[in-house]
Amino acid sequence: MAGGGFDAPEVAQGKGSKHKKTAKGAGVRIDMTPMVDVIMLLLTFFMLTTTLSAPQLMKVSLPKGDVKDKVKVDMGNVLYVRVSDKGNVYFAQGRSDGSESEMKKVEVKNISTELEKIYAANNNLLLLLKFDRKMKYNVMSDVFDEISRAKIERRYAFLKMEDTDLQKIVAAGG
């Protein structure tokens, strides 16, 4: 029995006997069909009962846009946050006469501290966020993360990046 084959016939060798074959031994067979059925049932059970992690999305409430819902805002309480296609972030403080202060370049990692400083001087701050459509999504996500890290009351609105905004960014070195 050197081969160890379970289904192979054993051959007896002895004195004076020619190769005698013994009765074939019962082979070992395991029927895997019921096990496969049980595994598939367990797999479907765990797939259906496991709670999948919900995607973490930002909840944005958009106004309906009715004329009666318009809110008058003092431009002195507005901070323009513009992000260029290269990922550069610029802050510009609004003035009560409708103009803006000089644009200031801010590193993404310093946004939260800068917002806290500006908010300390004016706690009625409203952020107007303008993103270039050509920028990378992860930059926008990083900006939102920094805004959420800032210990301020989060009031912001999204505005479309206009040509004048792009010209201001280019003039600021963006």
Give me the tens of pLDDT residue by residue for the chain, a chain 174 residues long. Answer: 455 555 555 555 555 556 666 666 677 888 888 899 999 999 998 888 887 776 677 677 766 766 666 667 778 888 899 998 888 899 988 888 878 888 888 898 888 898 889 888 888 888 888 998 888 888 888 888 888 888 888 788 888 888 888 888 888 887
pLDDT at 62: 67
Neighbours of 79 (CB within 10 A): 21
- Could you please report the per-residue DSSP string of 71-114? ----GGGEEEEEE-TTS-EEEEEB-TTS-B---EEE-GGGHHHH
pLDDT at 22: 62
Mapped onto helix, strand or coil, the DSSP state of residue 11 is strand
Exposure letters 105-139 (e unless 16+ CB within 10 A, then b)? ebeeeebbebbeebbeeeeebbbbbbbbeebeeeb
All domains of the chain, ordered by start, with CATH?
77-171 (3.30.420.270)
d(CA 94, CA 173): 20
Residue bearing tokens 């917002």? 115
pLDDT at 7: 55
Q: Which tokens sit at 7? A: 């289904």
98: left (phi over 0), alpha (psi -120 to 50) or beta: left
pLDDT at 1: 47
pLDDT at 108: 87
Residue bearing tokens 């016939």? 9
Q: Which amino acid is at 120?
A: A
Q: What are phi and psi of 93, to 5 degrees?
A: -85, 130
CB contact set of 115 (below 8 Å; sequence gap of 6+): 79, 125, 127, 146, 147, 150, 152
Q: Is 19 exposed, middle or buried (0-12, 13-18, 19+ CB in 10 A)?
A: exposed
pLDDT at 169: 87
pLDDT at 39: 94
